[in-house]
Structure 1
């Protein structure tokens, strides 16, 4: 994922009044991991990494904003309950 791809994803959502700063923080964290992994659609994520990159400090807040991004159909989150495998996030926008 390039800087242009990241810009394109964020610009599609910048006028969405349903999103707040914490949604964008989480999206930016997801896009950062996508760029590091050189992925554009399906990104391997961990809760610890996403919380650190987005500066979300509490589990309830993290889960709330991740759930809302799913409900708004911005991402598709597929959790992994196996500690050996990371969860996946698919960008839908």
Structure 2
């Protein structure tokens, strides 16, 4: 079990290393990405992570919707994430993380 956790942690660190090397990303981008990674770790997922806006905002300490939407959209535009919304109240939306930027 410990070895499995170490492997997960190494993969998380690979994502973080990619993020911190990009000068276009600021503290808000990084905070949202770390929140998504944290949710993925808790869910045992690496790339396809079930999310809710409220949970990401809580974990990233982003307190206003305009700030959240602005930086979340920029992460999509930069190719770090793909967001698939769920309009069903019983299902969460999904974020797919990309290790290499799409753009």
* TM-score over 0.5 (shorter chain): yes
Aligned to 1:41: 47
Note if 1:90 corresponds to 2:96. yes
TM-score, scaled to structure 1 = 0.96
Runs of 4+ in 1 over 6 A off after TM superposition: none
Q: Secondary structure at the match of 1:44?
A: strand
Note if 1:15 corresponds to 2:21. yes
Could you list the runs of 5+ residues in structure 2 that have no partner in the other structure? none
Cα distance in 2 for residues equivalent to 1:66 and 1:81: 18
Cα distance in 2 for residues equivalent to 1:6 and 1:52: 20
How big is each residue's C-alpha offset from its partner over 1:31-62, in whole Å with a ceiling of 9 and x where there is no partner?
00000000011000001100000000000111
Q: CA RMSD in A?
A: 1.0
TM-score, scaled to structure 2 = 0.87
How big is each residue's C-alpha offset from its partner over 1:6-33, in whole Å with a ceiling of 9 and x where there is no partner?
1100101212111000000000000000
* More relative contact order, 1 or 2 (CA 8 Å, 6+ apart): 1
Aligned to 1:5: 11
**Aligned residues, how many?**
93
